[in-house]
Amino acid sequence: MCNLRHKTENKGSCEEYCYKAVKSGKHIELYIYKDKNFKRKTKETNDLMKIINDWDITENEKKDKKEEEMKDVVEEFAPVQKLDNNLRRTQKRLRRVINSNLGQYEEQDKFLTLTCPKLKSREKACRMFKSFIKNLRYNYGDEIQYIAVMEIQNGDRLEDPSKATKDIHFHVLLFNCPYIPQKVLQDKVWKHGIVDIRKIQDYTDISGYLVNYLSKDDTLCVKGKRSYFPSKKLKKPVEEISMDKDLIFKFLTDTKNELQFSAEYFVERVGNISYMKLIQKDDDESEISIIS
């Protein structure tokens, strides 16, 4: 099998690339850098087949360019100067991790909300959540994985914002978690307040739903501290790079995916970038026109 990476012989040397693909579960992002090649330290040899094996591509009507999509691509390389840039990059990382894990486990994925009256301290909230996860795994299995986001009830989602409590609470995606009665989870595992747990029935933009809870609040955005909490054994997004356009496009056009979005951007110090977002398509043979 052909190696898609531009390899060098010395361990610890750099590999050069102008094409990058990121696979997050059923989602693929493809970056084509037109004006500048990039280098990074070599890692274990892998190939793009791990990203797009058994997938197809279909040509869909090109979606209108969305401002949010453009910001995501541009800020991939933007200098980290503002809180908004940091938040957007965190949102992108979180979205990719979520998409890499949805629908990947034996048990049905679940959405969980943990509340606690008068909880204002970030440090105390973190300790309580760690204790909850310890209790959960002790009673229901170490195989349970999770992604959690803290939020402060600031009234943005209330009909009457004046009723905001400013309490910290958690929104959690649970993976590989068996059925647990809500009352048991609330009274014997969490023990601090109301718990809501539901099986995920509609997977439409679950990642976007959780990502939107990421906060710019100074109480939660502490320098050097995570704003979300992923378990260590989650499935990770897979990133592959190459200098070989024909090889990448051969794999892409030999598999079945649906083109969701494509556009071209200019980024200072990087140049022109072509970007494609694809999603796994389960049926219907199709083709795609590639941005070149």
pLDDT tens sequence across 220-264: 665 657 778 999 999 999 887 778 777 666 656 655 788 888 888
d(CA 203, CA 110) in angstroms, rounded, equals 11
User: Given phi > 0 = left and psi -120 to 50 = alpha, else beta, which region is 242?
Assistant: beta
The one-letter code for the residue type at 119 is L
Give the chain's domains with CATH numbers: 21-82+236-292 (no CATH), 105-234 (3.30.70.1910)
Taking every pair of C-alpha atoms in the chain, what is the biggest distance, in angstroms? 63
| Cα dihedral 32/37/40/41 (nearest 10) | 120
Measured CA to CA in angstroms, residue 54 lies from 30, 99, 215 at distances of 17, 18, 37
Neighbours of 62 (CB within 10 A): 12
d(CA 106, CA 103) in angstroms, rounded, equals 8
**pLDDT greater than 50 at residue 284:** no
Q: Given this model, what pLDDT does residue 52 score?
A: 34
* 3-class DSSP state of 287: coil
Partner residues linked to 267 by β-bridges = 271
Which of 13-17, 80-84, 209-213, 230-234 has the lowest average pLDDT?
80-84
What angle separates helix 83-101 from helix 67-74, to the nearest 10 degrees? 100
Note the residue count of the chain.
292
| Predicted confidence band of residue 291 (pLDDT cuts 50, 70, 90) | very low
CA terminus-to-terminus distance, the chain: 24
**pLDDT greater than 90 at residue 172:** yes
Neighbours of 155 (CB within 10 A): 14
Neighbours of 43 (CB within 10 A): 10
| Predicted confidence band of residue 163 (pLDDT cuts 50, 70, 90) | low
